Structure 1
Amino acid sequence: MEGLYFSQFFVIVIICVSYFSSCVVGSDFLPPKLPTIGISVLVRNKAPALPYFLSSLLEQNYPKSRLYIRFYCDHSSDNSLEILQHFVEEFGFLYHATYIVADETSPALYEDESTPVLWSPKRFEHVIELREEALEFARRQWADYIFMLDADVFLTERETLQLLVEQRLPIAAPMLQSEGAYSNFWCAVTEEFYYERCDDYHSILDREKDFLDCHTVPMVHSAVLVSLASELSDQLSYTRGAGYSGPVDDTVLFARKAASLGIPMHVCNTHAFGYVPKPPASSSGLSAELLERDSLLNVKLQAIARGAPLPLVPTLRRHVLYPPKDTLGCSKIFMINLERRTERRQLMELSFLELGLDVELVKAVDARNLSDEILRKLDVRLMPEYEDPYHKRPIKAGEIGCFLSHYNIWKEIVRSGHELSMILEDDVRFVPYFRLRLRGVLRELSGHGYDLLYLGRKILADSGERPVTAHTTRPLYSYWTLGYLLTLRGARKLLGGNPLQNMLPVDEYLPIMFDQHPNDTWKSHFPRRDLRALSASPLLLHPTHYTGMPGYLSDTEDSPVVSADPLHRSDL
């Protein structure tokens, strides 16, 4: 009888324990921990990028107790190591562990290098060894994943790690944006594993609606999350096998090994994850440091133009160096900005800081403050025949305000005698290597005697435009006044047309004054049309946003229509 009671008691205990365990473990009270991730970063001469790289890493919304970071630094001639040490001192306690492995005795250059920008055979061999060492270190740490991360990758999406882990892919990379068509994946390769063009590349890169996914690709690099959970992953390696005769490149070797094991690689473009600079080409005329800085600058300006500058935590700001300010050979640089558009102004000022431009802010004439009385005092008279060519409507108050803003600068140029001025609006995106390209254009135009040089515009008919120099053309009918250079003589000519007596949008007035406007009736109001206009080609400025894009805002189109004389706004 005793044995029977004991058996019944034992069965009841087992049932209760099983029930209790299933309730608790399966409940929301004890959710499973996120996987552990080891982050491996190789650092060489990355001082300009590190404050932004480390800031973006710090802002990742992933439990830092589940992360370790291992930095390896060698062959550096800048203060990369100092920045890493500062980061670890300030924030290392947040992570499960941080490691800095540094070879301070290594020379600035490898034996077969002439510049640290180019990749020499010995450098490739060394990086392959370091990648393999990082992979083995992660395995010894029992990490669930290793994240191979370049020190100039900027993850602006704070959920990057979480989003990649959720995909449960063996090898995944966040698609990174860069200059032009460069990114961190290959869409196709040859049999020898060399780069090959692919029809879907730009659809993936441009994040077209039907291509937002994690795509199987033959190669990913720069930011690669590798799962170490499967037994098959133990065979992944960066080392060369016997008889290997392909490219000696760490990314190629790893991709080929994964392919041989049947382990797919994916690039995910579901989110705008971040940026990676395009590797700079070596140039005998520029130092490696300048090449690196310009490549980084291009990415920083790209992020600013999209309204989300690269992350930079306050304690790392001291490591950021900005160039000295100048006016790029101009007497003055002006930027027009509506006082209520604070965000635009701040973003443009950040661009100027990065570019080293000394710019004078000009408060735009706000259409909201343009009363009939003010317009009469200015003796503004609307051109009676004007009708917007596209919308078939009269001029808008915002277009009048925009014209007056430019007009006031033209008057200031003449009053102060500025020989050459740059006039910018507050929604421009600078092309890569803007300073270098503009200086080149100005050298080409020495002695050409122009009055106005478009830096950015909407080209309406470029098929008939004739080149003037290697990087300039004679513009035909164009829209927009994003940015242009104006000489003192050009300003006098624009004022001499008395445009306030026949008001129309400023981007219609300019083509009239260089006699390339198709509307003869409008042109007849301005008999002297001898403005000597040229345009940079290719253009040096573009809008930050185009019509229909998220974030697009137009203070001209969103303003009320103004009726013909006597001045009266239709909706006020």
Structure 2
Amino acid sequence: MHAYVINLERSPNRRAHITRELARTGLTHDIVTGVDGQGLDLGDRATIAPELLAKNDFPAGSAGCALSHLQVYRRILEDGHEHALVLEDDVTLPADLGTIVEQVVPHLTGAEVVLLNYGSRDGVVLAREGSVRLSATRTLALPVDIASIVNAGAYVITRDACRRMVAGLLPLRANADEWDYLYEQGLLDRVRLLRPLPVTKNASFESTIGLYSLGSGVASRLVASVLRRRIPLVHRLVLWRRQRILGQWERSEVVDAPFTTRPSRLD
């Protein structure tokens, strides 16, 4: 399994972090320079639809993130992979990640993604129906409510999914992690999640989009300023708060419940 890592040129600390993480896994990888939202023309309607801007508090960062993932899909197609691992640079990886993704690969089909990092405001609920036991500890399952699922920090994607994304994503109308939109638009045939969560967000890194900010954009900037200054006690409190939020979003359970929208055309 080959990994593609999205990293902004202005984030060498993140690049160093994810390079160390990947070294522990032994996975081959490429660092893909991400699209920096700070340099985007948000008025370019051939690339960015007004709908994307209207629904985001951080439109430049959200557009840059989505374009970065699209850039990776193009690379996967160019390099001829049938499936690949896509990573953002602010995640923590398990040493056995290679083994984990190889357990997933035989179950991939069509235009599919399997999320290795995900979250939901009230915790993630997975369906027992249609779930696949990969090992004594790992289960592949469909989300009960795909609209509640966010995060694009780590996922396995098929070549068919990359092909559809490249053909149909522009102009951008959705964030990189709007998995329900991508499914509803027919760009994906299926979205599944791996439980327990194998890849986690690293709380030391502030989201460049603002998903885990502690309030408004102004509050987020104040938090970023505090973190840069490294005021010891305040810095520890902010990191503790961020880790707590991440922990709440990353909780998951498998239940017997009907799907809100079944996120699969392949079953």
TM range (shorter): 0.5 to 0.7
- C-alpha spacing 1:427/1:440, structure 2 compared with 1 (3 Å): same
Residue type of the alignment partner of 1:534: R
Residues 33-432 of structure 1 aligned to structure 2 (within 5 Å): 330=1, 332-372=2-42, 376=44, 379-383=47-51, 386-388=54-56, 393=57, 395-431=58-94
Question: 1:463 maps to what in 2?
Answer: 125
Pair 1:500 & 2:170 matched: yes
Partners of 1:403 and 1:432 lie apart in 2 by 28
RCO higher in 1 or 2 (8 Å CA, sep ≥ 6)?
Answer: 2
Question: 1:300 maps to what in 2?
Answer: none
Q: Verify the 8 A CA contact 1:513 1:531 in the aligned structure 2.
A: no
- C-alpha spacing 1:482/1:371, structure 2 compared with 1 (3 Å): same
Q: Deviations over 1:468-514 (max 9, x none)?
A: 211200132310100111111011222333x3324332112x22122
Q: Verify the 8 A CA contact 2:5 2:29 in the aligned structure 1.
A: yes
Local SS of the residue matching 1:479: coil
Question: 1:452 maps to what in 2?
Answer: 113
Calculate the aligned-residue CA RMSD, in Å.
2.9
1:422 CA drift (Å)? 0.9
Pair 1:484 & 2:155 matched: yes
1:410 CA drift (Å)? 1.3
Partners of 2:53 and 2:6 lie apart in 1 by 28
Partners of 2:180 and 2:163 lie apart in 1 by 16
Local SS of the residue matching 1:435: helix
1:384 CA drift (Å)? 6.7
Question: 2:181 maps to what in 1?
Answer: 512
Local SS of the residue matching 1:536: strand
Which residues of structure 1 form unaligned runs of 5+? 1-329, 516-525, 546-550, 561-572
Q: Verify the 8 A CA contact 2:45 2:171 in the aligned structure 1.
A: no
Question: 1:474 maps to what in 2?
Answer: 142
- C-alpha spacing 1:359/1:529, structure 2 compared with 1 (3 Å): closer
**Which one of the candidate residues 426, 431, 435 is aligned to 2:98?**
435
Q: Verify the 8 A CA contact 2:119 2:150 in the aligned structure 1.
A: yes
- C-alpha spacing 1:456/1:387, structure 2 compared with 1 (3 Å): same
- C-alpha spacing 1:485/1:491, structure 2 compared with 1 (3 Å): same
Q: Verify the 8 A CA contact 2:36 2:61 in the aligned structure 1.
A: yes
Q: Verify the 8 A CA contact 1:383 1:501 in the aligned structure 2.
A: no
Which residues of structure 2 form unaligned runs of 5+? 134-138, 218-267
Q: Deviations over 1:341-394 (max 9, x none)?
A: 11111111112222212110100111222235xx62853222179424xxxx4x
Pair 1:541 & 2:199 matched: yes
- C-alpha spacing 1:369/1:436, structure 2 compared with 1 (3 Å): same
Partners of 2:190 and 2:94 lie apart in 1 by 25
Q: Verify the 8 A CA contact 2:9 2:33 in the aligned structure 1.
A: yes
Partners of 2:153 and 2:70 lie apart in 1 by 15
Partners of 1:381 and 1:401 lie apart in 2 by 13
1:414 CA drift (Å)? 2.7
Partners of 1:441 and 1:396 lie apart in 2 by 33
Q: Verify the 8 A CA contact 1:334 1:422 in the aligned structure 2.
A: yes
Local SS of the residue matching 2:89: coil
Q: Verify the 8 A CA contact 1:428 1:541 in the aligned structure 2.
A: yes
Partners of 1:384 and 1:456 lie apart in 2 by 23
**TM-score of the two chains, using structure 2 as the length reference:** 0.66
Q: Deviations over 1:219-275 (max 9, x none)?
A: xxxxxxxxxxxxxxxxxxxxxxxxxxxxxxxxxxxxxxxxxxxxxxxxxxxxxxxxx
Partners of 2:205 and 2:67 lie apart in 1 by 23
Residue type of the alignment partner of 1:439: E
Residue type of the alignment partner of 2:182: M
Question: 2:239 maps to what in 1?
Answer: none
1:554 CA drift (Å)? 1.9
- C-alpha spacing 1:399/1:532, structure 2 compared with 1 (3 Å): same
After the TM superposition, which segments of 4 or more aligned residues of structure 1 sit over 6 Å from their partners?
none
**TM-score of the two chains, using structure 1 as the length reference:** 0.33
Q: Verify the 8 A CA contact 1:438 1:540 in the aligned structure 2.
A: no
- C-alpha spacing 1:552/1:416, structure 2 compared with 1 (3 Å): closer
Question: 2:251 maps to what in 1?
Answer: none
Question: 1:177 maps to what in 2?
Answer: none
1:399 CA drift (Å)? 0.7
Question: 1:133 maps to what in 2?
Answer: none
Q: Verify the 8 A CA contact 2:161 2:188 in the aligned structure 1.
A: no
- C-alpha spacing 1:435/1:415, structure 2 compared with 1 (3 Å): closer
Over alpha carbons, which structure has the higher Rg?
Answer: 1
